[in-house]
Amino acid sequence: MTIIKVLYVDDEENNLSSFKANFRRLYEIYTANSGAAALDILSQTEVHVVISDQRMPGMTGVELFKKVKKLYPEPIRILLTGYTDIQALAEAINDGDIYRYITKPWNEIELNNSIQNAYDVFRTRRELKEKLAELQKTNDELNRFIYSISHELRAPLASALGVINLAKLDNIYNESEKGNEYWSLMEECCNRLDYNITSTLQYYKNSRYSEVKEDVDFNKVIHDLIAIHKLANTGSEQIKFEINVDQPEKFVGDVFRIEIILGNLISNAIKYQKPEEENKLIQIDVKVNRLVAVVTIIDNGLGILNDHLNRIFNQFFRVHNQKGTGLGLFIVREALAKLEGKISVESVVDSGTKFTIRIPNSA
Ligand code: ADP
């Protein structure tokens, strides 16, 4: 069992001796007859509880504890004081400089209970700190692991897609339609895998990267994202895009996260179209003012059941399960939380879906 180490500070030698006499069998005791002497002991020894008289020449108990809190925040601080020192006491309590105060003259039982309680607090805080450090380490390792795996997987996948393209060209040359169909299926699988890996990387980056604020040109961001996602989704050539960006004001924000958010929403609007729909349409509206950018993305696709609406932002929730990972909207929500933005959704099955997001303008 750990022996509890207590430092007792008082300018009256009599009090120091009686404290020692009362508690020496229970605790490892250190004594100091001034604030300066107490700081000296703390610089050399790790104590668990510091008890100090308030009224001392040179440095009062509260002044000592202010210094102790700054230099050695771990030991729990108990102040001994008379009723007349209420003002100093109230301030010290409000500033969090002391854990507890005991009025003088102290009695043995009360003081002993306070030392025990103070030590419990010391131990709990230390355990919490250790657990937190352990948790942070595991979390870091896990994140790094996810990152390197995802990163490593992308390179061979890109090579496989390159080979598939070569094979398709070869088939066109040899007029083998069946062959081409097989390669197209493989290409789709690889693209899906690539999308899953990209989502994982986006999740990693969103949780790790700090916010970088820069000028955002929504018109450019949206056109670039549409081009990227059209390329990644076969059949998206038939979709008509109507884009309307009203940005009279400068917008400053985290382009990286804004691209993650809009990219996932655009990708979904493309993926969840009705195959039989002849006039596939995606409308994107952006309105920027001094305070906020409001973006709406409307599609006339499959729509989402009312029962599913409050679950689509959950990790791994997906409905049209052959098409995604169930991570996209979860990442959207996480990234928006970092930007202190908001998202809402309205949808009618077989008719379409409307996502509205609001991102604060830091300009
Ligand atoms: P996924 O990777 O499966 O696309 P998301 O988190 O992006 O994951 O979306 C979760 C589910 O919400 C999807 O499986 C899909 O069923 C539904 N969903 C998202 N966006 C749309 C949309 N625009 N139209 C219809 N359904 C959608």
Q: Which residues does 130 contact at the CB level (< 8 Å), separation at least 6? A: none
Q: Is 341 helix (H, G, I), strand (E, B) or coil?
A: coil
Q: What is the mean pLDDT of the chain?
A: 91
Residue 145 lies in a domain: no
Instruction: Give pLDDT tens digits for 203-222.
Output: 888 888 888 899 999 999 99
Q: Residue 322: pLDDT band by 50, 70, 90 thresholds?
A: low
* pLDDT of 37 higher than 80: yes
CATH code where residue 102 lies? 3.40.50.2300
Instruction: Give pLDDT tens digits for 136-167.
Output: 999 888 888 888 888 888 888 999 999 998 98
Last residue of one domain, picked from the residues 50, 71, 106: 106
Q: Is 53 helix (H, G, I), strand (E, B) or coil?
A: strand
Q: How far is the CA of 4 from the centre of ligand 1 (A)?
A: 58
Task: Tell me what pLDDT residue 8 has.
Answer: 97
Residue 132 lies in a domain: no
Last residue of one domain, picked from the residues 89, 106, 123: 106
Residues 217 and 363 in one domain: yes
Instruction: Give pLDDT tens digits for 51-82.
Output: 999 999 999 999 999 999 999 999 999 999 87
Task: Tell me what pLDDT residue 279 has.
Answer: 95
Instruction: Give pLDDT tens digits for 218-239.
Output: 999 999 999 988 887 777 889 9
Domain containing 231 equals 213-363
Task: Tell me what pLDDT residue 72 has.
Answer: 96
Ligand 1 contact, 328 CB (< 6 A): yes
Q: How many domains does the chain have?
A: 2
Residues 217 and 357 in one domain: yes
Distance of alpha carbon 137 from the chain centroid: 15
Calpha distance 38→16 (Å, rounded): 13
Ligand 1 contact, 200 CB (< 6 A): no
Q: Residue 4: pLDDT band by 50, 70, 90 thresholds?
A: very high
Residue 172 lies in a domain: no
Which of 272, 277, 299 to mutate for ligand 1's pocket (most ligand atoms within 8 Å of CB)?
272
Token code pair at residue 164: 């598939």
Task: Tell me what pLDDT residue 146 has.
Answer: 84
Mean local confidence (pLDDT), 4-33: 95
Q: How far is the CA of 196 from the centre of ligand 1 (A)?
A: 13
CB 280 within 8 Å of CB 240: yes
Mean local confidence (pLDDT), 162-181: 82
Q: Is 277 helix (H, G, I), strand (E, B) or coil?
A: coil
Calpha distance 132→126 (Å, rounded): 10
Mean local confidence (pLDDT), 14-39: 95
CATH code where residue 290 lies? 3.30.565.10
Q: Residue 321: pLDDT band by 50, 70, 90 thresholds?
A: low
Last residue of one domain, picked from the residues 61, 80, 106: 106
Residue 46 lies in a domain: yes
CB 264 within 8 Å of CB 313: no
* pLDDT of 7 higher than 80: yes
Ligand 1 atom with the shortest distance to the CA of 331: 6
